[in-house]
Amino acid sequence: MTANRSESFTRHHDEKLREILKSSAKIFAEKGFHRTSIRDIARATDMSLAGLYYYFRTKEELLFLIQEQCFVTLLQRWEKTGDLSGDVRVRIRTFVENHLGFFLHNMYEMKVMAHEDESLTGKFQEKMLVLKRRYVKVLMDLIEEMQSPEGGKGINLRAATFSLFGMMNWIYTWYHPNPDLPLPELIDQMLRIYFFGILKGGKAQEPWFTPSSADPGKEGFSLWQNLP
């Protein structure tokens, strides 16, 4: 009985924290971290200040929790989907599908991560740097693996890695599902530009350049849903 109560309490705590983080991400994205007050978050979540401070100590810790949840979720999803034995170019495509599919359903979080990148300080900044470097290293290692057999050693690895991240991370500034391409086609176009260039990308056909079996546009994997 005690164990069941403890499990129920933990689940309720986690669900409530996710609700707070989701609402806070929306407010931070709309008003900015520094212009947002804890009272703004209290009104949005219909909670008291004391109730909010049960889940975090400071506004900066709240920002850290939002960013931490994003990177942890992305890394967990990659570990579930990344086939270490497959063609490295296919694995890069899987990485991009995971990244863009995730942020399409979590645009507020994407904006917060882009705009509030330097708002964390001290221990929160240090912890976040560890997660960021771990995530960046996944893509950097994939690109480095691809370069050797393809003769791409003339391209700077750091430039190649952050160029792809740059293409992906700014979609929140312009992408809208209705006038723009559906997510699978957006991923296809981005990867054509990245792999083949603008001039030849539209006509290039390679056996390895095919979407994964899963449609990233159909799976609404919100950050705030429980992972299986």
- pLDDT tens, position by position, 132-165: 999 999 999 999 998 876 555 678 899 999 999 9
Q: Which residue has the tokens 């996710």?
A: 18
Q: Is residue 20 one of the residues assigned to a domain?
A: no
Domain for residue 213, yes or no? no
What pTM does this model have? 0.79
pLDDT reported for residue 81 = 81
In this structure, of 57-66, 131-140, 173-182, the range with the lowest mean pLDDT score is 173-182
Q: What is the pLDDT of residue 163?
A: 93
On whether the CB atoms of residues 91 and 142 are closer than 8 A, the answer is: yes
Q: Is 151 helix (H, G, I), strand (E, B) or coil?
A: coil
pLDDT, tens digit, 9 for 90 and up, residues 93-141: 999 999 999 988 899 999 999 999 899 999 999 999 999 999 999 999 9
Number of structural domains in the chain: 1
Domain-located, residue 132: yes
Examine residue 29 and state whether it is found in any structural domain, yes or no. Answer: no
In a domain, 13, yes or no: no
Structural domain containing residue 82: 59-201
Weakest mean pLDDT among 20-24, 45-49, 68-72, 199-203:
199-203
Instruction: Write the pLDDT tens digit of every residue in 35-60.
Output: 999 999 999 999 999 999 999 999 99
CATH code for the domain in which residue 102 is found = 1.10.357.10
- 220 is a domain residue: no
Contacts for 149 with CB less than 8 Å, ≥ 6 apart: none
Phi-psi group of 32: left, alpha or beta (phi > 0 → left; psi -120 to 50 → alpha; rest → beta) = left
> What does the pLDDT read at residue 43?
95
- Are 128 and 85 in contact by the 8 Å Cβ rule? The answer is no
How far apart, in whole angstroms, are the C-alpha atoms of residue 170 and residue 110? 9
Q: Report yes or no: 133 and 72 within 8 Å, Cβ to Cβ.
A: no
- Asked if the model's pLDDT at residue 195 lies above 50, the reply is yes
pLDDT of residue 127: 96
**Which has more confidence, 63 or 217?**
63
Residue 2 is predicted with a pLDDT of: 44
Nearest CA-CA partner of 174 in 227, 104, 112:
104
What are 37's two structure tokens? 């007050």
Instruction: Give the pLDDT confidence score for residue 222 in this predicted structure.
Output: 57
Residue 222 placed within a domain: no
SS3 content of the chain, % helix, strand, coil (to 5): 70, 0, 30
**Inside any domain, residue 27:** no
Question: Count of residues for the chain?
Answer: 228
The gap from C-alpha 85 to its chain's centroid, in whole angstroms, comes to 24
